[in-house]
Amino acid sequence: MTLLAQLAEAVAAGTVEVLDLTAPLSSETPILNLPAPFSNTVPFELREISRYDERGPAWYWNDIVTGEHVGTHFDAPVHWITGRDGEDVSRVAPRRLVAPAVVLDASDRAAQDPDHLLQIDDVREWEAEHGPLPDGGWLLYRTGWDARSGDQAAFLNADETGPHSPGISVDCAKWLAEQTPLIGVGVETVGTDAGAAHGFDPPFPCHSFLLGAGKYGLTQLRNLDRLPTRGAVLIAAPLPIVGGSGSPARVLALVEREG
Ligand code: 23J
Ligand code: MN
């Protein structure tokens, strides 16, 4: 049997499970809210064209209105000034969109401290226990933040000092971008950077370093708690928006279950 025939059989039998890591897309899907003077994205919206009515008697369809960076989405290198000469989302090679993924779980610490920042030593410790970061693969950073994704206020967790959500330190973002073989970083939060990252030096270090290194971001993932620490295969499917800086994406994970 070929490898792909085996895979198809395993999916049918459930020994390879297909997990959906994507948040549902609706006008309720939380979106980023940058402070003045910066411009913001629009939320997702459906605009009905017809629904079995005089506008179209036998068909239902909608136009969609969305930002590129709404809901579970893919950040392409050109999203950031450091990656301005890099790939737009339509140019990301399909083989890059199927890749191994590992999970680093910091949900205990993020529950204690909503501003929790992942450090290089945390990743080194993880590697000592679980092996090296995958070459050409994703680091999925579990923080438990997906539990808040049904509620924009809880998800952004903003007070008078700005948003508070977990992320990655400046040093760690630079190290992940420049010293590891990762293809990118996936998170449960509204963006790959911490809520407070507008005040870091450089601001938004995940965006700055990872996209500057030609790497990618994935956001608003869910179901990371259902993934093994290593061994999952991620399928990230952003739309090939020509010239686009990113795109809402369907993100699936293939996971082996005990027969
Ligand atoms: C633009 C500016 C800052 C940030 C973002 C976008 C995102 O999080 C994003 O979705 O790429 S932090
Ligand atoms: Mn984005």
Q: Look up the CATH number of the domain holding residue 158.
A: 3.50.30.50
Q: Is residue 123 part of a domain?
A: yes
Is the separation of the CB atoms in 251 and 235 below 8 Å? yes
- Annotated catalytic residue 79: yes
Domain that holds residue 218: 3-41+67-256
- Ligand 1 atom, smallest distance to 193 CA: 12
What is the CA(75)–ligand 2 centre distance, in A? 5
pLDDT digits (tens, 9 = 90+) for 105-135: 999 999 999 999 999 999 999 999 999 999 9
For residue 134, how far is the Cα from the chain centroid? 17
Reference 241, options 99, 64, 106; nearest CA is: 64
Q: Is residue 55 part of a domain?
A: no
What is the CA(121)–ligand 1 centre distance, in A? 26
Q: Is residue 227 part of a domain?
A: yes
Q: Is residue 139 part of a domain?
A: yes
Q: Is residue 168 part of a domain?
A: yes
Q: Is residue 169 part of a domain?
A: yes
Please tell me the predicted confidence (pLDDT) of residue 259.
61
Please tell me the predicted confidence (pLDDT) of residue 44.
98
User: Which letter does DSSP use for residue 11 in this model?
Assistant: H
Say how many Å lie between the first and final Cα of the chain, rounded. 18
pTM attached to this predicted model: 0.97
Domain count, the chain: 1
Q: Is residue 58 part of a domain?
A: no
Please tell me the predicted confidence (pLDDT) of residue 258.
78
Pocket test for ligand 1, best of 89, 141, 193, 198 (most atoms within 8 A of CB): 193
Q: HSE of 246 in the Cβ direction (CA atoms, 13 Å)?
A: 27
pLDDT-flagged residues of the chain (< 50): none
Q: Is residue 175 part of a domain?
A: yes
Gyration radius of the chain over CA positions: 19
Alpha-carbon span 161 to 164, nearest angstrom: 9
